[in-house]
Amino acid sequence: MSAGGELAIRAQGLTRRFGALVAVDRVDLAVPRRAVHGFLGPNGSGKSTTIRMLCGLLTPSAGTIDVLGLSIPAQAEALRKRIGYMTQRFSLFEDLSVRENLEFMADIQALPRARARGRIAELLDEYRFVDRQRQLAGTLSGGQKQRLALACAIIHEPELLFLDEPTSAVDPESRRDFWEKLFELADKGTTLLVSTHYMDEAERCHRIAILDHGALVADGTPAELTARLDGRTLLVTTAEPRRAQQAILGADGVISVAQIGNSLRVLTAAGAGDACSRIAGALARAGQPAEVESVRASLEDVFVAATQRADAKPERVA
């Protein structure tokens, strides 16, 4: 959270329609400065459309947007010099070298020549490209390409960085390294809005917003969101998990049952009474001996609860 609670982004009633399709439906979003703000949702939930509207690349059908004190889309041109944008696909020039890509992006951002030279030297060193600066970008590994794309996105030192599923095509070690770079940027004052579908990445964010069918269905810190599910997440240990799963799925108030090794992780609905007793009773009636215990919710549980509830009403965390 930023000092003084200052916001980098405030959107109210943000809506985008494509004909009869409502892609984003009255979203209210507040992103503090100097924060890493996670943006989650199933495919087609409206994440990319929302990001494009916040960047000024797409005009909303309704609602208001304030980004870095600017009214968007009216002041989108002024905003573009103050933000960076990185997509999930490697969008740089594969037939140019690492240095040439950085030089090209410096030209696009109209950096003065002296500043561009200094900035490129900094990034080559910081992102470990000094020995590869003459290498064609197309011959880099997936992780190296993502590092280069990030370096190009921040060459003009933006105040706000949008990242749309930036690590979807890299290995776990490269993802961890990439996220260390993101936190270094936040420490230096950059605000980051990161779209991801990896729960381990979401856990690292200062705050998280979850979209489903274009609507904001959860918003808060990881601790706030998981605490909201206290008493609703259970672990079932049984010798026959597949049979036990069928018995549990028939119980009232069960949202999901996922097998993890020889155990079952059960998510139950809110306001459905003592979840442990109900699940234990369902297993006993089915003749399935098992141990049932309440466990701490994970962000995956939060995601499932927010996007698969039958009542479709948002579970919000202030």
Q: 311 pLDDT band (50/70/90 cuts)?
A: very low
pLDDT digits (tens, 9 = 90+) for 144-195: 998 999 999 999 999 999 998 888 767 888 888 899 999 999 999 999 999 9
One domain for residues 237 and 292: yes
One domain for residues 111 and 188: yes
One domain for residues 249 and 113: no
What average pLDDT score do residues 6-15 get? Answer: 96
Last residue of a domain, one of 197, 219, 241: 219
One domain for residues 237 and 172: no
17 is a domain residue? no
Last residue of a domain, one of 170, 192, 219: 219
One domain for residues 285 and 207: no
4 is a domain residue? no
pLDDT at position 279 over 80: yes
29 is a domain residue? no
The predicted structure's pLDDT at residue 31: 96
One domain for residues 140 and 239: no
103 is a domain residue? yes
Q: 272 pLDDT band (50/70/90 cuts)?
A: low
One domain for residues 205 and 170: yes
284 is a domain residue? yes
Cβ neighbours of 32 (radius 10 Å): 19
One domain for residues 45 and 159: yes
| Structural domain total, the chain | 2
The predicted structure's pLDDT at residue 304: 92
Q: Which domain CATH number covers 182?
A: 3.40.50.300
Average pLDDT, rounded, for the chain: 90
307 is a domain residue? no
Boundaries of domain holding 276: 230-296
Q: Which domain CATH number covers 252?
A: 3.30.70.100
Q: Of 230 and 314, which is predicted with more confidence? A: 230
One domain for residues 292 and 258: yes
One domain for residues 46 and 130: yes
Q: 210 pLDDT band (50/70/90 cuts)?
A: very high
93 is a domain residue? yes
pLDDT at position 288 over 80: yes
pLDDT digits (tens, 9 = 90+) for 42-51: 888 999 999 9
Q: Distance between alpha carbon 97 and the CA centroid of its chain, in Å?
A: 30
120 is a domain residue? yes
Q: Identify the CA nearest to 167 among candidates 196, 134, 131, 130.
A: 196
CB neighbour class for 15 (10 Å; exposed up to 12, middle 13-18, buried from 19): middle
One domain for residues 95 and 176: yes
Q: Distance between alpha carbon 259 and the CA centroid of its chain, in Å?
A: 25
One domain for residues 87 and 199: yes
The predicted structure's pLDDT at residue 313: 40
What average pLDDT score do residues 221-241 get? Answer: 93
> What pTM was estimated for this model as a whole?
0.86
